[in-house]
Each structure stands twice: as structure tokens, then as C-alpha cells.
Structure 1
Amino acid sequence: MTFRISNLLYLFALVAASLAIFGAGGLLLVWGILVFWVITLAKPSSGYASIAVAGLILGVIILLLMPAVEIGRSGARQAQCMNNLKQQALSIINFHQSLHRLPNTAVQLGDTDSMHSWRMRIVPFVESNHLYDSYHFDEAWNGPKNRQVVGTLPIPFYECPSHSHPTKSNYFAVTGAETVWGDGERRSFDDVSDELANTILLMEAAGRGIHWAEPKDLTFDEAVELLTTPLPTGDHDGHRVEHGYFYKPSYVRNVAMCDGSVHSLRVPIPREAAVALLTASSGENIDPEWLERQSSAELDYGRVWVFSLFVVLAILPGVPKVRPWVWPQITNSTTRAEASPLGPSSSSPD
């Protein structure tokens, strides 16, 4: 068995590509590929059969790299978080249909409604009335009687499973004169001139330490900052979503729109887009395709290229015309004899 420089370059490229894809475990895969070709080429058969077998092995490798059929734990938590937002948005819509207005938020002043969160107001629309009937609207949310009702009571649909803190809310309205919720006045969807499907109603935010019954929400400026700032390291807020080996992970923040739809926005987004999504009557147009792309996975072209290179390198020994350049020549007496232009040597009698 003889080596050429081209053989060593081939081996180096195969090892490098395998390590880039599989990490240290790629060395075992390279070993398996080399053993496969040693066995296959030691007993020559149809070149097409060799390529077919190699293609089958690589097909199995591709399947191993593709996303699992079952949603992983992080994906399941992300799905549950979006479902929580969906429930809340639909409950607010049902509240609006019943009373022809939105529930009051933390900024309302001048009446007893200012002491209570919209999250308490929509409770009858998402579960039984028992909690709502036990609540005392004649005192503040953290008054003596209400502390006994909601003080240590967690509400699952106000907690994101990825950032679960019992009794704390991960979902907020966005208040301000420019928003659908307004800045102290009672508002209605009829006050929204922008598309309901392009106007944010609720936003996810973690780690704010606000009790779900507490009448506190996000200001317009706080919401803009959350949408235009990259998520912090360690997934303390928002979500890191894995889509499979060939895709970039997405760092997303969930939002619910005024029409009840829910989106996972890859953050950060441009400030102009954040302002357009948060304002209710500013006249900006949001491209529906752009909004859809924000919730879609992005191909990682670097990984696609490296894997394509790995596939080509792994099957090259099966291509007869290329084999001498990438694979050590296997020589023995039999093959030398068969290759001789004079044919097998024979002895003649003296």
C-alpha cells in the first residue's frame, strides 16, 4: 500500500470536515468510513455498488442530523409559552366582545379599577369563576383580603415554562398613548386604525418580578428596548429555539397581536419595525411576509457547505477515476500480474 501527498491531503480534509460537523465524535466516523473503504476496495466489485452503499450510510448520517420528530424539551416549553399568550389574547378579545372595550391596565386612574390588573379581569374567560368570585374589587390587589386569595396562588397561563417563577407574570400589556391600550383612557379595538394583525397586544418578558395580579405592565419605551435588544446570554429572557443541525438557532421573543395571532419574533428587530408593531394608529405598513420570516428558521449556509464537502469526500474513494488521487494504492502480486501488459508469466521447458 503506497501513499501520495494527495492521499494525505484527502485524509486531512475528511478529518477536518468531520470534526467541524460532529466534534470529537467525528474521529470515530472517519475511522468507520476508512474501514468501510478498505473492506470494499480490497474485494473490488461494481463501482456503482460501492457508491450506493456509501450513499446509504451517509443518508443515515443525514437523518441523524435532522430535527427529531418529537419536539424537544425547549421546543415544548416554547410551544406552551405561545399557547399561554394565545389563551390570553383570545380572552381579551372575548372580554372586548362582551363589554365593547379592553380591560383596564395599570395606568388607569381615578376609580377602583386602577387597583387591579387586566390579568385579573380576564380570569373568568380562561378558567372557572371561582377565583374571580373570591376576589375583592373593593380593595387593592394586595389588600388584606386579596392577599389571602392571590398572594401565593400561581396561575399557569401567566407563567412561561422556560422562566417559571410561581405567582410571577411573564406576559404584559404595552401601555402608552401610541399603543392599543392607551395611556389612562379606556380603549377599544375600534380605536385602532392600523391592521389588528400587525399591532402588538401582549408581550412576553421574564425576570421582572411582577405578581400576576399586580397592576403593572410595560411602557412603550420598555417594549421598544426589549424588541430591539439582543437576548441576554444564558436564556434569562425570551427563548433560544433549535431548528436542527442545518439551521441557525433563533433567539425569539413571543408576542400576541390584536387579532389573536401569536408570533415568535427573532430579536433584535429594527427600531422602525418595533415602533410600527407597537403603535396602534401610526399608519405604518408591516409586510406580512417579513413578519412571517421573523418566525421562520434560517439556514446556516456555512454548515450546509461543510456537510456537502464531507459527503463528497466520504464517497470519493468509490469513484474509480478519482480513487488513485484520494486513496492509497492497494497493490499485491495478483493485481500486478493482472495489470502486466505481457499477462501472467509462464515458464517454458528447457
Structure 2
Amino acid sequence: MANWYVKRGSQIAGPLTVQRLKELAAEGKVQESDLVRKGEESDFVPAAQIPGLIPEYTDNFLEDDFQQESQSQTTSPKKSNAVLWIVVAVAGGGFVLVILILMALLLPAVQQARDAARRSTSKNNMKQIGLALHNYHEVFSQFPPGGTATTDGKPYHSWQTAILPFVDQAPLYNDIDFDVAWDDPSNQIIFEQVIPTYLNPSIEEKISPDGLGLSHYVGNELVMKKNRGSRIRDIKDGTSNTILAVETGQNFKPWGDPTSIAKPIEIMGQGKKSSFRGGNHVLMGDGSVRFVSENIDPETLKNLSIPNDGKAIGEF
């Protein structure tokens, strides 16, 4: 009856008949240090303890007698490992796919949130500029000139320079040499400064090629005129119907440049680059800020820009 087993290291040969076991021992292929077990339940014992089994000691060992049993024991784990790796690969690929899908779904929402935050910041900047203009008006009884020029017509200083004390930049304002023009070398360092209130966070360009701090906002030259400011009472159409300043999406000028004024229709509307997708913010004469579509009717935009044309303005 074949119910004997021989174990050497991690390899087990069997079941063997007692006759075959004795033959192996006689051939010197079962060594004294090998373990032998009879049946499935008994413990392995050294072959030397089996009476009459080991006739002599030898180092010869027949690997083939153990190969079949060894293979039978190792084949199943290999198959199991292969299945495990397949499962891991499929699970890992599924996880990556889920991450990619989530990223595809979340990125637009993240982008929209960032855009909304930038819009909010730019809108708040314009409100601060509006408040500064009204505080200037309270002190000087008029809004600042859009830009001043020397008697021979050379640009001198800008409206954004004039309101520096009212946007928490009084120390910078006090360092400016007003006896010379804004672009005089003695003022170079001053106008290299970047003023956060004058920057739209959606625009990366913050410094001019000459190293001067830029502004992303332009004054309405029909209200803040060259060498002459306007009073609130001069705005006959009402401050809530008249633009003071606008966001611009291109052709940025330094905040100290006296020529940083224009008619709003030259800055925004159809065919112009918007500061945000769909349009621009505008600062109204009453200090409010509104978002105006890039598709606004040109005639409506023109009426909003003129402070005293007497024309009715509908929804925009």
C-alpha cells in the first residue's frame, strides 16, 4: 500500500510503497537526515530511526523522486499569484480611471470657482476706486482730471496718481516729485511700484516692458477730462447712468500714465477683448459696479459714457 512519504527540505516525495522506499534507501537515495512519515496523519521522523531502512550513508539524492510532489504543491500557488496580480492590475486600472473621471468632472467646477473669485476681486477693486473718487470729490469738490498736461501739452500726471491717498497709498503719493512729470527719472522708482487695487487678478501682465507698474482700469475721458475734473452736479443724466471707469482686457498702461483715459466704447463692446469671459465690469458714477456684456448695444454704451446727453437708458 502506497502510504509512505519522504521529506527533504521543503520537498516531499510520495506516496510510496514500503517496497519502493526500501529500494530507494538501498540505492542510497534516501539519506539518514531525510524525514520519513507513514500515512497522512503521523509525524515525520528521521529515516535513521526506521529499523533496517538505511543500510549505509550516501550524499547521492535523486531529485526526480521528489519533483512530482514538489510541482503538485507549487503549481496552485503560482496560479493563485497570477490571479492575484490580474485582480490587482484590474483594480488599479479601475482606480486610475475613477480618478481621471473625477478630475474631468471637477476641473470645470474648480475653474469656474477661480474665475468667480477673480471677478469678485476685480469688482471689489473697482468699488475701492469708486470710493476713492468720491472721497477725492468730497475734498476737492470735483472728480480728478483724467490726466494733467504741461502748458506745452506734455503728459504730466494721471487720475490714478491723484487718488493714491484714498486707496491707502498716501506714503507713496508723498514720495512723488510733482515738480516734474510722472516719467521723469526722479520718479522712476515710484512708478515702478505695483498697486494691487489697480490690478485685475485674471490678467497676468502686471509690469510694462519699461518696468513700470500697470493698471487694468481706464478712466472715462468724457467725465474725467484732460486738465479738468467734473462735478457730480455736472452729470445731468445721473451718476447711476454714467460710467466713470472700465476694466480693459488689452493695451494696458502704467497707472501713472496721464493718457490712461478713453471713451468706454473704445475699450469694450463688440470686437474688443473682454477682461472676463462675456464682458467687462464698469464703475458707475454713484460708486456701483456692474458687469456689462460684450454684446452690449453700441448706442447704449455710448449713452452710458456721456454724462449729459439727456437720452434715456434702458436695460443693459
Q: What is the match of residue 276 of structure 2? A: 239
In the TM superposition, 1:123-272 aligns within 5 A as 123-151=164-192, 153-166=193-206, 167-175=213-221, 179-220=222-263, 223-232=264-273, 237-240=274-277, 251-272=278-299
Q: How does 1:14-163 map to 2 (within 5 A)?
A: 72-106=113-147, 108=149, 110=151, 115-151=156-192, 153-163=193-203
User: What root-mean-square deviation, in Å, do the aligned CA atoms of Structure 1 and Structure 2 show?
Assistant: 2.7
- Compute the displacement of 1:146 (Å): 0.6
Alpha-carbon deviation of 1:284?
1.2
Q: Cα distance, 1:228 vs. partner?
A: 3.0
Report what 1:334 is aligned to.
Answer: none
Q: Distance in 1 between matches of 2:117 and 2:155?
A: 36
| Mapped partners of 1:120, 1:169: distance in 2 | 11
| Structure 1 runs not aligned, ≥5 long | 1-27, 29-63, 241-250, 292-350
More helix by share: 1
Shift of 1:256: 0.2
2:145–2:225: 8 Å Cα contact kept in structure 1? no
The TM-score normalised by the length of structure 2 is 0.59
Pick the structure with more strand per residue: 2
Q: Deviations over 1:245-265 (max 9, x none)?
A: xxxxxx021100000000010
Deviates more, 1:124-133 or 1:108-117: 108-117
Q: After TM superposition, where is structure 1 displaced by more than 6 Å over at least 4 residues in a row?
A: 67-71
1:208-244 Cα shifts (integer Å, max 9, x gaps): 1311111112332xx2143331454xxxx3212xxxx
Task: State yes or no: 1:284 paired with 2:311.
Answer: yes
Cα shift readout 1:254-296 (whole Å, capped 9, x = no counterpart): 1000000000101121121011100000001223xx24xxxxx
2:194 alignment partner AA: P
Larger radius of gyration: 2
Report if the CA contact (8 A) 2:156-2:182 is conserved.
yes
Ranges in structure 2 where 5+ consecutive residues have no aligned partner: 1-96, 98-104, 207-212
Given that 1:158 and 1:171 are in contact with CA atoms closer than 8 Å, whether structure 2 keeps it comes out as yes
CA displacement 1:72-100 (0-9 Å, x = unmatched): 00110011011111100110011001110
* 2:78 aligned partner: none
Partners of 1:135 and 1:109 lie apart in 2 by 17
Q: Which has the higher contact order (CA 8 A, sep 6+)?
A: 1
TM-score, normalised to structure 1, is 0.54
